[in-house]
């Protein structure tokens, strides 16, 4: 399963008389204040658009500072939030075109503008006069959301170093600019670093027929593959050739090596200098000071606890897998990291009578998208309406308006979503969800996007998806719904993506679990050629097969979590990036290392999540606890779905994430449900009753 990669953190009002998403055929003008891309493939136009947002941000701050009487929420916090909104619009749009624009010059300009917006955000974070004005606002007693917003904003100001002297603030500003530039460079090197490998036709043995049909041999009989996701996954899962799997593994991990080695070291050095300047021993302590976990020591405790829970299961699973592989290949001493997916697939076929290729015909891309929209509509009590004439940054992007379906507010426009789902030259190569437009209740509807790299999207290619790709789609859509439903409040800075960073994965990981429901799958899982509904028996086999390896999955997350923490918890100059990663692999994984593996060079979570990859581990604990509250025989239509929407999603960042957890569970999160999930005892009911 893939995990989302945060973009450069969203940089936190011009309002339309009618939100553009409410129009049947939006006629978006070149001066549209919400969407930079409508000006077309024009780098100069993007620069002008971003500068206008920054000018508006400065005007809002000037308005705030011009107040002469007592400070109030309306005369001080409101213009501050308007300024934050302008920065968010500018940053979200600039990053969108940096990562998704079809033309390299526009991507270059998007990169430059993202850096400019980040610099403007740093300026605001270090503005003492603004901090003092916000500090002078009496905390509202009867508006807990606004109170939390103000308290959280003041905390972030203090963590940014606003209370330091002029020279120190100037140093902080320079370091923040450097960190942004290096982060963007690291990500761009990965996006632009697509590699190609060649394979013989004999090495295609085991690959799906539609995959083989898509890859025509050259005159010499060889086939060219790329390190884009639709080429990589089938090779690693199905190709019988261990040589091909190894070449693909090394190419995929090495697509930004050695270029990103010095970039990462410089980035870590700048982060460490920022941390010590702000009084922290290491960057990981700074990065966790405003999170649920609280400190780097808190991360270590979490990882230790999850290691103790998952290690026995992971060891049992590896023993089963190795014994199986040795029967198939006598003399095999260990399973290589590049062979894990292949042998796991072979084991699942033998142990559970499940072949992952057997479900692919039931999951053509367009059908999966339609099914996920329908599932989300029922679960979250919303409706989706296609906007075929929306102006978008690429013709392949699908656009939908989201409306409330709750009787009391049925038909209310909630927001707009954009689905950019297939790979193309220059596009970001990962799977993510990001805000495009923040929401402000009654003034500005939220908009968000999915960026994925699934097969399909071209004539004649049904885009048959592996079941883990469908899980990924569910995951990313969970983020999107969190943004739309959680961004209906009065403050731009309190949308769904503004919760503590180590809670942001919980809603998406919870939605993943819906994938295992036979009734949900049968609502859209139909054979792309015959129309046959996916059989319940096949779903049962798939669920049993996919449950195998959950202990190993958690241990793998501990590898990434430990590595992310360790590179931010010591002096960067002495770090051996490959050596440290190999040590973590040996500690948490029994699989043999692949010589020449340079995983770190394309580990883009190091730019977005920094030291805090542990988020995926913590949020898996919370997500499984959330899912345990649902009636497995009635996932979509029972009362829990609406209670979940009201308690977890709709509040956005209007209260601490720990309170969101307690509001839904009635208690703090626990690890009991995760233990059941990991040990294959946490399966949805196999009822086919409509749910």
How many domains are contained in the chain?
2
User: Looking at the structure, do residues 365 and 246 belong to the same domain, yes or no?
Assistant: no
User: Looking at the structure, do residues 367 and 247 belong to the same domain, yes or no?
Assistant: no
Q: What's the pLDDT score for residue 589?
A: 97
User: Looking at the structure, do residues 371 and 247 belong to the same domain, yes or no?
Assistant: no
User: Taking residues 599-611, what's their average pLDDT?
Assistant: 96
Q: What's the pLDDT score for residue 31?
A: 74
User: What gap in Å lies between CA 672 and CA 684, rounded to an integer?
Assistant: 17
Two tokens at 477?
């859509």
- Please give the residue that has the higher pLDDT: either 162 or 29: 162
Query: Which strand (E) or helix (H) includes residue 232?
Result: helix 229-238
The CATH number that applies at residue 442 is 1.10.1370.40
Per-residue pLDDT of 114-153, as tens digits, reads 999 999 999 999 999 999 999 999 999 999 999 999 999 9
The residues that bridge with 401 in the sheet, in sequence order, are: 385, 416
Q: What's the pLDDT score for residue 19?
A: 32
Q: What does DSSP assign to residue 142?
A: S
Q: What's the pLDDT score for residue 41?
A: 82
User: What gap in Å lies between CA 493 and CA 82, rounded to an integer?
Assistant: 9
On whether residue 592 sits in a domain, the answer given is no
Per-residue pLDDT of 269-306, as tens digits, reads 999 999 999 999 999 999 999 999 999 999 999 999 99
Residue 479 has pLDDT above 60, yes or no: yes
Question: Could you tell me the pLDDT band of residue 87, with boundaries at 50, 70 and 90?
Answer: very high
Per-residue pLDDT of 396-434, as tens digits, reads 999 999 999 999 899 999 999 999 999 998 898 889 999
On whether residue 486 sits in a domain, the answer given is yes
User: Looking at the structure, do residues 498 and 646 belong to the same domain, yes or no?
Assistant: yes
Two tokens at 376?
């989300």
On whether residue 50 sits in a domain, the answer given is no
User: Looking at the structure, do residues 381 and 238 belong to the same domain, yes or no?
Assistant: no
On whether residue 461 sits in a domain, the answer given is yes
User: What gap in Å lies between CA 92 and CA 11, rounded to an integer?
Assistant: 7
Q: What's the pLDDT score for residue 691?
A: 37
Q: What's the pLDDT score for residue 39?
A: 82
Residue 23 has pLDDT above 80, yes or no: no
On whether residue 159 sits in a domain, the answer given is no
User: Looking at the structure, do residues 415 and 538 belong to the same domain, yes or no?
Assistant: yes
User: Taking residues 56-73, what's their average pLDDT?
Assistant: 98
Residue 318 has pLDDT above 90, yes or no: yes
Its pTM surpasses 0.85: yes
Per-residue pLDDT of 371-404, as tens digits, reads 999 999 999 999 999 999 999 999 999 999 999 9
Two tokens at 616?
């995926």
Question: Could you tell me the pLDDT band of residue 687, with boundaries at 50, 70 and 90?
Answer: very low
Residue 681 has pLDDT above 90, yes or no: no
User: What gap in Å lies between CA 513 and CA 497, rounded to an integer?
Assistant: 21
Residue 13 has pLDDT above 70, yes or no: no
Q: What's the pLDDT score for residue 679?
A: 82
The angle subtended at Cα 655 by Cα 651 and Cα 657, nearest 5°, is: 90
Q: What's the pLDDT score for residue 656?
A: 97
User: What gap in Å lies between CA 13 and CA 19, rounded to an integer?
Assistant: 13
On whether residue 469 sits in a domain, the answer given is yes
Per-residue pLDDT of 150-201, as tens digits, reads 999 999 999 999 999 999 999 999 999 999 999 999 999 998 999 999 999 9
On whether residue 188 sits in a domain, the answer given is no
Two tokens at 315?
């060891």
Helix or strand or coil: residue 230? Answer: helix
User: Looking at the structure, do residues 641 and 492 belong to the same domain, yes or no?
Assistant: yes
User: Looking at the structure, do residues 640 and 496 belong to the same domain, yes or no?
Assistant: yes
User: What gap in Å lies between CA 627 and CA 641, rounded to an integer?
Assistant: 10
- Find the domain containing 433 and state its range: 361-386+396-547+633-658
Q: What's the pLDDT score for residue 633?
A: 87
User: What gap in Å lies between CA 163 and CA 168, rounded to an integer?
Assistant: 9
């Amino acid at each position: 399963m893939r995990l989302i990669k945060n973009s450069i953190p969203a940089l936190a009002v011009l309002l339309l008389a009618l939100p553009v998403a409410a129009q049947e055929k939006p006629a978006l003008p070149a001066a549209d204040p919400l969407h930079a891309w409508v000006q077309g493939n024009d780098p100069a136009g993007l620069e002008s658009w971003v500068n206008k947002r920054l000018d508006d941000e400065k005007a809002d701050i000037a308005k705030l500072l011009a107040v002469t009487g007592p400070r109030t929420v309306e005369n001080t916090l409101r213009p501050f939030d308007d300024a934050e909104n302008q920065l968010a619009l500018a940053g979200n749009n600039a990053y969108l075109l940096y990562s998704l624009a079809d033309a390299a010059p526009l991507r270059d300009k998007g990169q430059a503008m993202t850096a400019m917006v980040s610099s403007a955000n740093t300026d605001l974070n270090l503005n003492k006069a603004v901090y003092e004005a916000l500090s002078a606002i009496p905390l509202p007693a009867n508006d807990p959301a606004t109170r939390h917003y103000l308290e959280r904003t003041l905390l972030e100001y203090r963590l940014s170093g606003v209370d330091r002297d002029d020279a120190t603030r100037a140093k902080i500003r320079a370091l923040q600019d450097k960190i942004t530039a290096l982060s963007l460079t690291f990500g761009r090197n990965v996006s632009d670093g697509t590699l190609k490998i060649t394979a013989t036709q004999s090495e295609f043995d085991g690959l799906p027929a539609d995959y083989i049909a898509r890859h025509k041999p050259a005159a010499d009989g060889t086939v060219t593959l790329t390190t884009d996701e639709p080429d990589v996954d089938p090779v690693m899962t199905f190709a019988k050739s261990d040589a091909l799997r190894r070449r693909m593994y090394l190419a995929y991990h090495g697509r930004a090596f050695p270029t990103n080695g010095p970039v990462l070291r410089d980035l870590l050095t700048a982060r460490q200098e920022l941390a010590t300047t702000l009084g922290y021993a290491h960057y990981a302590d700074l990065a966790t000071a405003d999170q649920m976990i609280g400190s780097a020591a808190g991360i270590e405790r979490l990882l230790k606890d999850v290691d103790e829970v998952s290690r026995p299961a992971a060891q049992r699973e590896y023993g089963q897998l190795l014994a199986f592989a040795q029967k198939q290949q006598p003399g095999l001493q260990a399973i290589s990291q590049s062979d894990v997916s292949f042998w796991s697939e072979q084991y699942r076929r033998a142990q559970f009578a499940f072949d992952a290729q057997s479900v692919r015909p039931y999951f053509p891309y367009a059908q999966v998208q339609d099914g996920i929209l329908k599932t989300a509509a029922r679960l979250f009590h919303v409706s989706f309406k296609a906007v075929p004439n929306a102006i978008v940054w690429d013709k392949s992007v699908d656009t939908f308006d989201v409306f409330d379906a709750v009787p009391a507010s049925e038909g209310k426009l909630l927001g707009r979503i954009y689905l950019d789902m297939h790979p193309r030259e220059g596009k970001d190569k990962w799977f993510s969800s990001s805000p495009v437009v923040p929401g402000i209740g009654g003034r500005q509807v939220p908009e968000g996007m999915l960026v994925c790299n699934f097969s399909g999207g071209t004539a004649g290619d049904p885009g048959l998806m592996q079941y883990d790709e469908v899980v990924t789609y569910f995951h990313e859509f969970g983020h999107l719904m969190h943004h739309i439903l959680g961004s209906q409040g009065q403050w731009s800075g309190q949308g769904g993506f503004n919760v503590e960073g180590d809670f942001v994965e919980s809603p998406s990981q919870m939605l993943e679990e819906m994938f295992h429901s036979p009734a949900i799958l049968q609502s859209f899982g139909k054979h792309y050629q015959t129309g046959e509904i996916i059989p319940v028996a096949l779903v049962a086999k798939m669920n049993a097969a996919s449950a195998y390896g959950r202990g190993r999955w958690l241990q793998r997350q501990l590898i990434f979590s430990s590595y992310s923490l360790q590179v931010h918890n010591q002096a960067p100059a002495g770090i051996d990036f490959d050596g440290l990663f190999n040590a973590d692999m040996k500690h948490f994984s029994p699989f043999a290392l692949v010589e020449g593996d340079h995983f770190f060079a394309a580990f883009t979570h190091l730019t977005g999540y920094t030291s805090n990859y542990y988020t995926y581990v913590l949020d898996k604990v919370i997500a499984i606890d959330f899912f345990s509250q649902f009636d497995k025989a009635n996932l979509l239509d029972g009362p829990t779905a609406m209670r979940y929407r009201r308690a977890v999603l709709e509040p956005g960042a209007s209260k601490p994430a720990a309170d969101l957890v307690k509001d839904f569970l009635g208690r703090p999160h626990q690890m009991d449900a995760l233990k059941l999930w990991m040990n294959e005892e946490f399966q949805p009911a196999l009822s086919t009753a409509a749910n």
